[in-house]
Amino acid sequence: MGHDARSPRGPRCIALVGPFQSGKTTLLEAILARTGAISRQGTVEGGSTVGDSNPEARGHLMSTGLTAATTTFMGESLTFVDCPGSVEFIHDMRAVLPAVDAAVVVCEADERKLPQLQLILRELEEAGVPRFLFLNKIDRAEKRVRETLTTLQPASRVPLVLRQIPIWKGDLIAGFVDLALERAFIYREHLPSEVVSLDGGDLDREKEARFSMLEKLADHDDALMEQLLEDIQPPRDAVFDDLSRELREGLICPVLLGSAVRSNGVLRLLKALRHEAPGIVETAARLKVENGAGTLAYVFKTVHVQHGGKISLVRVLSGQLTDGATLISQRGDADRFSSILALTVGQDNKRSVANAGDVVALGKLDHVRTGDTLTAAKSPHAALCEVGPHAAVLALAVAAADRKDDVKLGQSLLRLAEEDPSLTVVHHPETHEVVLWGQGEMHLRVALERLRGRFGVNVNQRTPAVGYRETIRKSATQRGRHKKQSGGHGQFGDVVLEIKALPRGEGFKFDERVVGGAVPRNYIPAVEEGVRDAMLHGPLGFPVVDVAVTLTDGSYHTVDSSDLAFRTAARIGVSEALPGCQPVLLEPIHSVEIVCPTDATARINAILSGRRGQILSFNTREGWPGWDVVRALLPEAEIGDLIIEVRSATTGAGSFTTQFDHMAEVTGRTADQIVAAHRAAA
């Protein structure tokens, strides 16, 4: 798969992206069928597509991870990467963007998906990825294409430039006119379109639409602007050159029409990609790879195959990979990979060499992670880009259903998080919980299905414990005494403790004011340990905070006193004193920042108010037309499944970040319910 003599841009890599259920996997299937990589086009509903072949995707009829497939078109190698559309699985798309030459944004004329489209276009804009928009399901269109474009334009920061207009027969779209080529085509299902002549109203519409396209191109081309002003028809080659240049420079987003399920418009899309999408040289320059940099590759996905071990999907950005070479990550980790596999469908995929532009799978790169920059040089290359996941928004406490699977669960969770860095595993020493954090309800559900199906681990799940604490309102002085005699040396410890409340957030302080050696100095650390023991579980059942304890007096026995005796005495003293100090429950309050489409702001405010939230402000989201930012204070207990309501209120596009702010008292019925639930679970 080296450079083709007719293809100076080399093998190309194209991302298929777009909102959830817009038809990306079907488009990949249509492309593979049209280019002869597969004999017939499968369907998502029938579970017969090349993409989404894992059990989770088949079961939920949605992409839960990316699919990469290489094919050839007119002698050129093209690798397509079908990326999940759900915001919960968007990290796969974000990780692959640095590796691609261009993206095809698959969308439909559905105003409800506009916020999701805007999220995806913004990711492409920030990454500097040239992009086409493929307006799919055109056979079901109810609006005129120009109306649809007016609806979609706010999602894009650059002009959406219509490259084609539909040919209508009654209420159905029968074909299209290519405005750059100035030719008309009638669709034929799963076959190349038929060229037809234009006349009458269609010809008038074509002239008007072509002029509109040229006007947008002329915004970045003075010579073209002069030609239009002087009513001179620009040469067709010059128009194609402008389309290609302005696409590569991110000045426009060309719009093509089609129906992936019928394979309509697919050939024209492939030709546009072949002629206009940039190649590996431009992509390497975008990533600031220097000329003559040697062998450089970028890892965009990590997969653990049941019988094949760890597989890394990489794009070779410069130089050449040879089978069995050693690669070094930016951290200096060196691994010798076991094989080079091309991503062609249903063929012998083993390769001895991968050249610049190729997308291949490498085996056994044990220390390599998604997002790594790899080099064959003896010293590591700096990372070309940093692709961190969005903040996690939903958590589950998980435990192996069978205790003998505890170690297996830990290993499996590490592998899952390696495959999908937007999953986070946190071990809480205080609660002894293993907490799995993810991007939403479906994201975590799929993770648990993978644990069971691929790794053979069944888990029990529950809502993670909330970080409740308790404190006191009233001071006390208490004697703690521990005396035990059972033959030989006994145990004796005696302490007098002053217990006082501290201001909120002060934590715990221990001091001593012992005079005259009432408690020998060598026992004082043991007294502090005993006090801390008692603070772990207060009268309400939670750790005690914001309390100062001072050792003021006590007594000891020269034979029977010991560290253990004084530790026990101190624990007894504090435990007996706290119930009389007016204990009060504290709950963690977080500052929450929700981003949402403006038309959902009122619903978000109502959700927050219904969850005991205190709304602090809501403002327009800077740089995001049609979006707001809502800031509020919200109890941690109310954040648990907040994302489910937020996504429901925002057609899947809203999200939030959260940060601990302070502890606040909980009183009355709410406090009683929390304490009762905690005791019942203990």
- Assigned domain for 3 exists: no
pLDDT of residue 59: 85
CA-based nearest residue to 530, from 488, 577, 484, 589: 577
CATH number for position 476: 3.30.230.10
CATH number for position 242: 3.40.50.300
Kindly state the percentage of the chain with pLDDT values over 70. 99
Give the model's confidence band at 133: pLDDT under 50 very low, under 70 low, under 90 confident, else very high.
Answer: very high
Are 2 and 355 spatial neighbours (Cβ–Cβ below 8 Å)? Answer: yes
Both 553 and 592 in a single domain?
Answer: no
DSSP string, 471-485: EESS-EEEEEEEEE-
Both 359 and 315 in a single domain?
Answer: yes
Stretch (H or E) spanning 52? none
- Assigned domain for 7 exists: no
pLDDT of residue 682: 75
214 pLDDT more than 60: yes
Distance CA 634, CA 638 (A): 7
Distance CA 219, CA 211 (A): 13
Instruction: List phi, psi (to 5°) of 673.
Output: -65, -40
- Assigned domain for 479 exists: yes
Both 307 and 175 in a single domain?
Answer: no
Strand pairing category for 172-178 and 67-73: unpaired
Give the model's confidence band at 44: pLDDT under 50 very low, under 70 low, under 90 confident, else very high.
Answer: confident
Distance CA 592, CA 612 (A): 13
Buried b (16+ CB within 10 A) or exposed e, 44-64: beeeebbbbebebbeeeebbb
**Could you give the number of structural domains in the chain?**
5
Give the model's confidence band at 8: pLDDT under 50 very low, under 70 low, under 90 confident, else very high.
Answer: low
Q: Which of 427, 446, 462 is the last residue of a domain?
A: 462
Mean pLDDT of 350-373: 94
Total length of the chain:
682
Both 421 and 529 in a single domain?
Answer: no
pLDDT of residue 666: 94
- Assigned domain for 52 exists: yes
Query: Which range marks the domain in which residue 677 is found?
Result: 587-681
Both 306 and 440 in a single domain?
Answer: no
2 pLDDT more than 50: no
Strand pairing category for 160-162 and 253-257: parallel
Both 604 and 558 in a single domain?
Answer: no
Retrieve residue 422's tokens. 């937007």
Between 129-138, 183-192, 399-408, the lowest mean confidence (pLDDT) is in 183-192
Mean pLDDT of 495-513: 95
Distance CA 81, CA 93 (A): 9
Give the model's confidence band at 487: pLDDT under 50 very low, under 70 low, under 90 confident, else very high.
Answer: low
Both 346 and 244 in a single domain?
Answer: no
Both 29 and 142 in a single domain?
Answer: yes
CA-based nearest residue to 652, from 93, 153, 106, 88: 88
Give the model's confidence band at 170: pLDDT under 50 very low, under 70 low, under 90 confident, else very high.
Answer: confident
Strand partners, 589: 635, 662
Which of residues 393 and 110 earns the better pLDDT score? 393
- Assigned domain for 204 exists: yes
- Assigned domain for 383 exists: no
Query: How are strands ordered across the β-sheet holding 340-342?
Result: 334-336, 326-328, 373-375, 296-305, 309-318, 359-363, 340-342, 350-351
Q: Which of 552, 581, 610 is the last residue of a domain?
A: 581
- Assigned domain for 380 exists: no
Both 445 and 477 in a single domain?
Answer: no
Both 343 and 427 in a single domain?
Answer: no
The owner of tokens 């996504």 is 647
Q: Which of 234, 259, 278 is the last residue of a domain?
A: 278
pTM: 0.91
What is the chain's mean pLDDT, rounded?
92
Q: How many whole angstroms from its chain centre is CA 612?
A: 28
pLDDT of residue 641: 94
Which of residues 348 and 494 earns the better pLDDT score? 494
Both 523 and 600 in a single domain?
Answer: no
7 pLDDT more than 60: no
CATH number for position 435: 3.30.70.870
Question: 361, exposed or middle or buried, with CB in 10 Å at 0-12, 13-18, 19+?
Answer: buried
pLDDT of residue 204: 85
CA-based nearest residue to 393, from 650, 617, 120: 650
Distance CA 544, CA 536 (A): 6
- Assigned domain for 220 exists: yes
pLDDT digits (tens, 9 = 90+) for 367-407: 999 999 999 988 899 999 988 888 999 999 999 999 999 99
Both 58 and 198 in a single domain?
Answer: yes
Strand pairing category for 296-305 and 253-257: unpaired
Between 5-9, 460-464, 657-661, the lowest mean confidence (pLDDT) is in 5-9
Start-to-end Cα distance in the chain: 62
Mean pLDDT of 576-583: 97
Retrieve residue 508's tokens. 């715990």
